[in-house]
Amino acid sequence: MDSMATFRQIFAVGELRAIWFAELQSILGDQVARVALSVLVFQRTGSATWPALTYALTYLPDLIGGPLLGGLADRFPRRAVMVCSDVVRAILVAVLAVPGIPLPVLAAVLVVVQLANAPFTAAQAAVLPSVLSGDQYVLGQSLLKITNQVGQLAGFALGGAVIAAIGPGRGLAVDAVTFGISAIVLRLGVRARAASGSGGPATSTLRRLSAGARTIWRDRRLRALVGLAWLAGFVIVPEGLAVPYAAEIGGGAATAGLLLAAHPAGIVLGVFVLGRLVRPEIRLRMVGVLALGAIVPLAAFWFTPSLPYAAGLLVLSGMCAAYQVTASTTFMRLVPDTERGQAFGLAGSGLIAVQGIGLIAGGLLVGVLGSPATTVSVIALAGLVVAVPATRAWRHVAPPHPL
């Protein structure tokens, strides 16, 4: 039985400190860059559509990059993959900061920047079990999740003020610098390890994809964990409908901002509580129940709750959604080290895909139902239909103790 780790213990590990610091300042830079890109495109087009499409380009390439490029984290040394990805992104984001860059070129460069994110994320996820073990690994993953959520909140909150002060071009330059800093920190702070994959660089992309898919499919535990993780497609719907829901309850942009912040705040709180107060073996057993709990509060939107109640429901949903940390760490432990990057790339890309599908479904359904509140609740009820068998599947295959 694992003993509960502490933040003091994991921060005593130099490699974890390097990974954490690189993650923190890079996330802050990325969020500022997203604001900068939206402002830059809006200034040059005067259109509300093009900034939205540009914002989508900061996510959509991961759908392709995960399956195709995640396997690089198995074929090459993972520190080298992270450092090279950061260097490539630093150079390309610096190109985005060039004044007067044509919009088609900007879009093309942005796609490549996001494609470079896939091998970095896969390598980071795959190397962490080699840096931390036991419950320290779970707590380390929780720390990165908290850092990611807090970084997003802080980055969006500060992004507008930063861009207003220095302009979008310099804001993008700041993001380029954060990638450079991340590359240096990881190069100096993470130990070099040999490539874990046995297939070598000559292994075809199709074979790596097939191997990763087989790894997940042949293990019922991995299939159950992926199914539970992909329930995020139902949970994300309120995010896409925050602005129209705010209007439905008589609010404006400030109301929408509070609604958008509520769910990430709940995740931060949930990750902290699970990591600090709940024993590892109990966390493992709670994964399925919490997956249901992330969806159930959203069904209460049927009653069109006012802002305090709606925010409370989203915080509660976010707290339960913290099960994703336990699910992802258990997933990575179950996957053989030589296949972690590819398997993570496939599962992660699927996670992004179902979130995109959830947002599209919410946008289409609200046009039919006419009410964002009703839309959120209907999709939540559909999510429960899917979540119940997924939870039962995990209950039957869950290991009795943390791996």
Q: Which of 37-51, 234-248, 277-291, 353-367 has the lowest mean pLDDT?
A: 37-51
Task: Render pLDDT for 375-400 as a digit per residue (tens, 0 to 9).
Answer: 999 999 999 999 999 999 998 888 76
Structure tokens at 331: 């997933």
Who wins on pLDDT, 120 or 69? 120
Residue 268 has pLDDT above 80, yes or no: yes
Percent of the chain with pLDDT over 90: 31
In degrees, to the nearest 5, what angle opens at C-alpha 139 toward C-alphas 280 and 189?
150
**pLDDT score for 289:** 93
Average pLDDT of the residues of the chain: 84
- Distances from the Cα of 92 to the Cαs of 113, 167, 168, 217, in angstroms? 6, 18, 15, 37
- Distances from the Cα of 236 to the Cαs of 196, 294, 307, 388, in angstroms? 35, 10, 18, 18
DSSP 8-state class, residue 339: G
Who wins on pLDDT, 30 or 18? 18
pTM given for the model: 0.72
- Residue 55 phi, psi (nearest 5): -60, -40
**pLDDT score for 339:** 76
Those residues with Cβ within 8 angstroms of residue 57's Cβ, 6 or more apart along the chain or in another chain: 107, 110, 111, 114
Q: How far apart are CA 109 and CA 54, in angstroms?
A: 11
Q: DSSP readout, 29-94?
A: HHHHHHHHHHHHHHHHH--SHHHHHHHHTTTTTHHHHHHHHTTHHHHS-HHHHHHHHHHHHHHHHH
**pLDDT score for 156:** 61
What's the one-letter identity of residue 123?
A: A
Taken in order of first residue, the domains within the chain and their CATH numbers are 10-191 (1.20.1250.20), 205-402 (1.20.1250.20)
**pLDDT score for 189:** 94
- Residue 293 phi, psi (nearest 5): -65, -25
Q: How confident is the model at residue 95 (pLDDT cuts 50, 70, 90)?
A: very high
**Top mean-pLDDT range of 252-256, 305-309, 399-403:** 305-309
Task: Render pLDDT for 33-73 as a digit per residue (tens, 0 to 9).
Answer: 877 777 787 778 776 556 656 666 666 677 777 777 877 88
- Distances from the Cα of 247 to the Cαs of 22, 240, 306, 307, 378, in angstroms? 38, 13, 11, 11, 19
Angle, helices 307-321/253-277, rounded to nearest 10 degrees: 40
Residue 1 has pLDDT above 60, yes or no: no
Q: How far apart are CA 340 and CA 35, in angstroms?
A: 33
Q: Which of 57-66, 122-131, 136-145, 174-183 has the lowest mean pLDDT?
A: 57-66
**Three-state secondary structure call for residue 371:** coil
